[in-house]
């Protein structure tokens, strides 16, 4: 059990930690700031730049610490209130806590115990004081934010996650004003100078008497400190939002809409002054669907193209509404003037921007996670055609695409077929090695395709490279690449699920030896 006399220390220590963590929590979601920092330090330290790609992971860790310290802070203050109540209920003049509780009764504001009477209910104090009321609001907001951030909610009910996450505004307002009631009080500096607490604490019967050397102690509320910790990050976040608002009002023109059979919507757009790098992503808002919701999508176009594209997989309410607004549920063509207006925020940097900094590159995409690599592969080919100096470092690209079903191949197979054809024409067939896996198929289920295996092109994708079934043996793949490229740095880039990321990161560590070094990079949204 937490001793009463130490409860205040147990409340104030987590409060100090809360101030520090609340200072940090907004910084990882300042996307423009991170993009600026990433570009600034890229030339100095690639390792430091990679740490910025883990901004969402850092944001979650800080949130967990806020939740933990909030719980400890609340529990400690419950013990404090019990201690305050006991001091008023146990009206014993030989009991120091009672004597301290009595200070301030005679029109003297220098009280210590916030519960001024033995008839006062702690519940009333909780809902009538600034500290109590803001504490309840902060706690409720935090509970809603954390519970709605769980993976299952985020994946299935993104709108719930999106709206409840904006309770952070209420959280920070309550946090700033939480200490303004000055309910935590301490002995004033002047009173400490006139008294010797170690001596006078045990002589409270003599307090205020002449020649006792122990005056009646004076107390004052501790000044609020939280605002000093959070005002800087709050200012940066406000600037971030102003930049987003400015960008959202810039005109975006949808120049082309493609409805892929796999229920993937392709949007081709143009925006004045828009510049991108490979693998970057944007946030898209469609005011006719919701003026508050912004959703991230990886750019699938190359920087060399005069437009930018995104591929949207239809999996939720918002994407379904966008699909219908673009005429995806209609058999006739949608007229250009009927297409919905969209707003774009971005582009923002990701780990994939570093792809041209390696001699050998492994690209691993799972399902729709292949989108950043569409941009990379297009850009690589454009640079080769233009004899761009930036591409000469890359010796080989190994591309792996893992898909559960055949439908997901349709939109991306066209790009691979085009690259395959052009590489063959230029006698560069070995430059790009690609492996496509149907992960939910087994060899037995694909038996009826065997008759086609003697054909020149694969019956599923139309590529010369045959489709593989099941999951890749990553240990063999890493061993093969390490043997083929001794003495090189291999950049491993993943856009896919967390479990696959953990597996590939372990492979990078285990296959990094004196001769070859695998460096793991993962997309995070």
pLDDT band at 446 (very low <50, low <70, confident <90, very high): low
| Lowest pLDDT segment from 16-25, 244-253, 430-439 | 430-439
Q: Is 487 left (phi over 0), alpha (psi -120 to 50) or beta?
A: left
d(CA 28, CA 30) in angstroms, rounded, equals 6
pLDDT band at 2 (very low <50, low <70, confident <90, very high): very low
d(CA 499, CA 104) in angstroms, rounded, equals 61
Give the per-residue pLDDT at 42: 64
Domain borders along the chain are 3-243, 250-348, 351-522
Class of domain 250-348: mainly beta
pLDDT surpasses 70 at 8: yes
Instruction: Name the CA radius of gyration of the chain, rounded.
Output: 31
Element (H or E) spanning 437, and its range?
A: strand 432-438
| Tens of pLDDT, residues 105-145 | 655 567 766 676 666 676 777 777 888 889 999 999 999 99
Quick one: angle between helices 158-165 and 317-325, nearest 10? 110
pTM: 0.74
Give the per-residue pLDDT at 140: 94
Q: How far is CA 447 from the centre of its chain?
A: 43
Instruction: Write the CA distances from 37 to 27, 42, 243, 353, integer angstroms.
Output: 12, 8, 16, 14
pLDDT band at 70 (very low <50, low <70, confident <90, very high): very high
Q: Beta partners for 187?
A: 219
Residue 374 in contact with residue 363, Cβ under 8 Å? Answer: no
Q: Is 263 left (phi over 0), alpha (psi -120 to 50) or beta?
A: left
Q: Beta partners for 400?
A: 364, 435
Q: Which residues touch 91 (CB under 8 Å, ≥6 apart)?
A: 98, 118
d(CA 410, CA 164) in angstroms, rounded, equals 37
User: What whole-number percentage of the chain has pLDDT above 90?
Assistant: 13
pLDDT band at 67 (very low <50, low <70, confident <90, very high): very high
pLDDT surpasses 80 at 473: yes
Higher pLDDT pick, 167 / 487:
167
Among the CATH numbers 3.50.40.10, 3.40.50.80, 3.40.50.10860, 3.40.50.970, which is that of 351-522?
3.40.50.80
| Tens of pLDDT, residues 248-290 | 888 888 888 888 767 788 889 999 888 888 888 899 988 888 8
Q: Is 278 left (phi over 0), alpha (psi -120 to 50) or beta?
A: beta
Mean pLDDT across the chain, nearest whole number? 79
Tokens of 63: 């949130």
Cis omega (within 30 of 0) for bond into 409: no
Q: Beta partners for 313?
A: 264
Quick one: angle between helices 31-41 and 226-248, nearest 10? 90
d(CA 308, CA 126) in angstroms, rounded, equals 54
Give the per-residue pLDDT at 1: 39
Give the per-residue pLDDT at 451: 53
Nearest alpha-carbon partner for 279 in 343, 348, 362: 348
């Amino acid at each position: 059990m937490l001793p009463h006399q130490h409860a205040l220390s147990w409340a104030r220590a987590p409060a100090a930690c809360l101030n520090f963590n609340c200072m940090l929590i907004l910084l990882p979601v300042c996307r423009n700031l991170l993009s600026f920092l990433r570009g600034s330090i890229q030339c100095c330290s690639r390792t430091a730049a990679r740490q910025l790609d883990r901004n969402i992971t850092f944001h979650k860790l800080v949130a967990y610490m806020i939740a933990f310290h909030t719980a400890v802070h609340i529990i400690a203050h419950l013990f404090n209130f019990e201690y305050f109540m006991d001091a008023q209920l146990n009206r014993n003049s030989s009991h120091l806590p009672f004597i301290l509780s009595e200070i301030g009764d005679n029109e003297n504001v220098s009280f210590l115990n916030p519960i001024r009477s033995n008839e006062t209910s702690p519940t009333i104090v909780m809902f009538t004081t600034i500290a109590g009321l803001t504490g309840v609001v902060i706690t409720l907001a935090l509970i809603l934010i954390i519970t709605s951030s769980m993976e299952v909610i985020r994946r299935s009910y993104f709108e719930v996650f999106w709206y409840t996450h904006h309770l952070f505004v209420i959280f920070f307002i309550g946090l700033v004003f939480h200490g303004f009631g000055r309910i935590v009080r301490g002995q004033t500096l002047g009173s400490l100078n006139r008294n010797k607490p170690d001596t006078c604490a045990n002589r409270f019967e003599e307090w205020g008497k002449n020649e006792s050397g122990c005056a009646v102690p004076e107390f004052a509320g501790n000044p609020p400190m939280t605002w000093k910790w959070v005002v800087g990050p709050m200012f940066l976040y406000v600037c971030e939002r102003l930049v987003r608002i400015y960008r959202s009002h810039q005109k975006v023109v949808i120049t082309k809409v493609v409805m892929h059979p796999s229920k993937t919507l392709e949007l081709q757009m143009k925006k004045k002054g828009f510049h991108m790098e490979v693998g970057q992503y944007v946030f898209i808002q469609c005011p006719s669907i919701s003026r508050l919701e912004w959703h991230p999508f990886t750019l699938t176009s190359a920087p060399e193209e005069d437009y930018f594209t995104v591929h949207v997989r239809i999996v939720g309410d918002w994407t379904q509404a966008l699909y219908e607004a673009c005429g995806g549920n209609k058999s006739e063509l949608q007229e250009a003037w009927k297409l919905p207006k969209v707003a774009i925020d971005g582009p923002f940097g990701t780990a994939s921007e570093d792809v041209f900094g390696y001699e050998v590159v492994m690209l691993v995409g799972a399902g729709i996670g292949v989108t950043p690599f569409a941009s990379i592969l297009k850009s690589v080919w454009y640079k080769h055609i233009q004899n761009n100096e930036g591409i000469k470092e890359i010796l080989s690209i190994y591309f792996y695409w893992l898909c559960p079903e055949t439908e997901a191949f349709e939109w991306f197979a066209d790009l691979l077929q085009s690259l395959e054809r052009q590489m063959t024409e230029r006698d560069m067939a070995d430059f790009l090695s690609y492996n496509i896996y149907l992960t939910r198929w087994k060899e037995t289920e694909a038996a009826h395709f065997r008759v086609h295996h003697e054909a020149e092109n694969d019956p599923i994708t139309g590529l010369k490279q045959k489709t593989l079934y099941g999951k890749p043996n990553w240990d063999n793949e890493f061993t093969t690449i390490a043997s083929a490229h001794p003495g090189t740095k291999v950049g491993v880039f993943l856009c896919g699920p967390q479990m696959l990321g953990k597996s590939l990161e372990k492979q990078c560590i285990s296959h990094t030896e004196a001769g070859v070094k695998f460096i793991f990079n993962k997309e995070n949204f």
